[in-house]
Chains A and B, each alone.
Chain A
Amino acid sequence: MPGETVIHVVEDDRPMRESLVELLQDAGYTVHAYARAEELLSRGSDLEPGCIVSDVRMPGMDGLTLLRRLRIAGLALPFMLITSHGDVSMAVAAMKLGAVDFLEKPFEADTLLTAIDSALRPRSSDTGAIDVEVARQTLQKLTSREIEVFEGLVAGKSNKEIAAALGISPRTVEFHRAHIMDKTGTKGLPDLVRLWLAGNVPQATR
């Protein structure tokens, strides 16, 4: 049970912020809400351990910069990004910076709670993180064309851009994308990015 676990919510849109607070409080978390990234950052090392849920696009400092600043400050709280459409490349960058997950608006209560739950799960156990060996084996099941498409997706490119780069139609990219999800058993872009980052090591040595 969450109990005293603290969730920091950074969201500039007031109705959304309030609804997040209400949900998380109902789920039993202690919630601190911030309208701006700077407010959270200014608390520095006073920040209670827990999980940060932050919007990407905000006036002033954006979510990605917040993540970077926190990492520089040595604050390694699990970080979850909320994005709206078109922020995929940003989200991928965030994953690479160590964000645990990102959620695309709109998302449901359960999705958020599940994501927070797994973000807060202790890392020591093998269940949370993807095993490097498993990731490598999963990636090896893909054809070279699928790997190329995968690369494009993880680089945050749109289907159209990938199609143009590979000289195939956007339709085919979609097809490859579905195939990749099928073969790897992933459900969405966050899964894909996680898998890619975990399996990236064998990619480099191959």
Chain B
Amino acid sequence: MTQSAALDDTEGGRNDDIAAPEAPGADVGLINLEPTSRQYRTAAAAVAALAIAVATVAPIAATPLPQFAAFIPFLNATILVTDLITAILLFGQFSISRRRGLLVLSGGYLFTALIVIPHALTFPGAFSETGLFGAGVQTTAWLYIFWHFGFPMAVATYTWSKDETHGVQGSIWPAIAACVILTVALVLVLVWLAIAGDPFLPRLFTSASGLTPLGRFAPTFDLLICTFALFFLWSRRRSVLDLWLMVVICALIGELALTVVRFSLGFYVSRLLSLATSTIVLVILLAETAGLYTRLARANQMLRRERDNKLMNLEAIVASISHEVKQPLATIVMRGSTALRFLGHGQPDIEKARSALNNIVNEGHRASQIFDNIRDLFRPPQREFRPVDANELASRVLDIMHGELVEHRIETRVELMPGLPRVWGHPGQLQEVLLNLVRNAIEAMDVMQGRQRVLQLTTEKRPHDGVSIKVFDTGPGIDPEKLDTIFDAFVTTKSHGMGLGLAICRMIIERHEGQLLASSREGGALFEIILPVGSPPNAAPH
């Protein structure tokens, strides 16, 4: 997916944190994750090791080894368990992604898990001399052929349908049930065919360990199917699952290539490979599931924290707005009732009433202005974003506030770092935030008597994450207990018209993908705006 690629392009971990929760749940899965280059290397190494093993054993594959009767029951029991678990996990993946391809693949693993049962039970010498259920000489061999035909066919079918865009609609359970029933039925039919059809099926074995020419060719047929499946998969490979399925098919090919006379070296090695084919996907599924679970849990936690923050922020913003709007409303009610009073006097005081009504009109406009300002703040401003020079911004704010600073006998110290990179943002909103911080500083210092009042405004480039604008005052500082809540509670500057709460300031800065930090240091408070440099913020989903 391009999303993950875009993530890697951005520097630092910050953007990962932001983007991770945005990944939709259905896209998190083996079938969607692209393999990393490390996974590619690991898979290639596995195939290489496999090839070396097969190449080493092949020349001496026919070397007879002691007959170990419990080998097949033991091996097949293991395959039964691992493939059953793999099937269940794949059904789980299917229930998330709803892709039919995965359902078929699950069926393939279930098929293997089931067919190894009769294979072991009918294996000559395992449970009885000739195999249970009245199995003939050919039965086990045919089951083996079916087994190694069915599985690559399932993989091929998976490959064919895995990229279809529309998944199963509605409940997934009927689909899973149908898949299970069909697979069980198929296995039963094949078992019946292998047992009852034993006399009629082409002969693969002359005796328990003697192969007919057809018996030598049959694995080759399966091998062709496997090779087809491998190349088909290679041509449409996309996901981690695809990658490891290719390794599985390679192991399967190796297994079939070594299949020779029973209880030879090749036979044992080939059966061990079939164990490998059965466990590869399981191990990968488990590893990926564990990794995905960790990522999901972390993303979930982050989402929850983000939501809580948003709610808290929203509460603070609503409180701030309602406080702002209540000022003119309170004045309107006050003036209105006072005007009524003037008119109710024995000698109605028309002039005073007129003046009160004039005031009401003004307050009405003021209330409306507050809403206009608020609407401007909340309007998605992304389109109006442009490169902003933090130094220009600081200078402009100081110009605007010059009169007020002088009036309050505040000395201004400015340190602007030359050649700052531009930040991406809404000039008006950023200016409003900075104005607000300066006003807060002025008010804070107003309280202090007999102490030098200094407002320090600095800009600087931060090592990694952008540009910082600091507003430092020599006021009383921030109560350490209030430091955590200062952005929740609002420090209002209502006497100056539209007083933005700090909560709104922070919201604006966060919409710029930046941070607004407050701290208290020796002799005053420090507010710091940190803005990312350069390109537009990538959080522009609307």
Q: Using a CB–CB distance below 8 Å, which chain A residues touch chain B?
A: 12-16, 18-20, 22-23, 26, 35-36, 38, 57, 59-61, 84-86, 105-110, 112
A60–B447 touching, CB < 8 Å: yes
Q: How far is the CB of B368 from chain A (nearest CB, A)?
A: 14
Tell me whether B329 is interfacial, beta carbon within 8 Å.
yes
**Which residues of B331-366 are within 8 A (CB) of A?**
331-338, 340-342, 352, 356, 359, 362-363, 366
B334–A19 touching, CB < 8 Å: yes
B352–A109 touching, CB < 8 Å: no
- List residues of chain B with CB within 8 A of the CB of A18: 359
Tell me whether B207 is interfacial, beta carbon within 8 Å.
no
On whether A38 and B333 interact (CB within 8 A), knowing A15-B362, A16-B327, A23-B338, the answer reads: no
A105–B359 touching, CB < 8 Å: no
- List residues of chain B with CB within 8 A of the CB of A35: 495
Measured in the bound complex, the distance between the Cα atoms of B514 and A90 in whole Å is: 34
* Contact partner, A19, options B338, B340, B447, B491, Cβ 8 Å: B338
Q: Provide the B422-463 mask, 1 if CB < 8 A to any CB of A, else 0.
A: 000000000000000000000100110000000000000000
A106–B330 touching, CB < 8 Å: yes
**Which residues of B454-498 are within 8 A (CB) of A?**
491-495
Between A and B, 24 residue pairs with Cβ closer than 8 Å are: A12-B494, A13-B494, A14-B495, A15-B327, A15-B328, A15-B363, A15-B366, A16-B330, A19-B331, A23-B338, A26-B342, A36-B446, A38-B447, A59-B493, A59-B494, A60-B446, A84-B327, A84-B330, A85-B322, A86-B322, A86-B323, A105-B330, A107-B334, A109-B338
B319–A110 touching, CB < 8 Å: no
Measured in the bound complex, the distance between the Cα atoms of B341 and A12 in whole Å is: 24
B319–A23 touching, CB < 8 Å: no
Tell me whether B396 is interfacial, beta carbon within 8 Å.
no
- List residues of chain B with CB within 8 A of the CB of A23: 334, 338, 341
B333–A108 touching, CB < 8 Å: yes
- List residues of chain B with CB within 8 A of the CB of A57: 323, 492
Measured in the bound complex, the distance between the Cα atoms of B333 and A110 in whole Å is: 11
In the complex, which range does the number of interface residues on chain B fall in?
20 to 34
Measured in the bound complex, the distance between the Cα atoms of B217 and A141 in whole Å is: 100
Tell me whether B310 is interfacial, beta carbon within 8 Å.
no
Measured in the bound complex, the distance between the Cα atoms of B494 and A18 in whole Å is: 15
On whether A106 and B323 interact (CB within 8 A), knowing A13-B494, A13-B495, the answer reads: no
A107–B326 touching, CB < 8 Å: no
Measured in the bound complex, the distance between the Cα atoms of B492 and A57 in whole Å is: 9
Q: How far is the CB of A11 from chain B (nearest CB, A)?
A: 10
Residue of A nearest to B362 (CB): A15
Residue of A nearest to B439 (CB): A59
B359–A19 touching, CB < 8 Å: yes
A22–B319 touching, CB < 8 Å: no
Residue of A nearest to B326 (CB): A84
Measured in the bound complex, the distance between the Cα atoms of B330 and A19 in whole Å is: 10
B337–A109 touching, CB < 8 Å: yes
Residue with the greatest number of chain B CB neighbours at <10 A, chosen from A20, A22, A110: A22
Leading 6 A-B pairs by shortest Cβ distance: A106-B333, A109-B337, A105-B330, A108-B337, A106-B330, A19-B334
- List residues of chain A with CB within 8 A of the CB of B328: 15
Measured in the bound complex, the distance between the Cα atoms of B335 and A106 in whole Å is: 11
- List residues of chain B with CB within 8 A of the CB of A61: 447
Residue of A nearest to B325 (CB): A84
- List residues of chain A with CB within 8 A of the CB of B336: 108
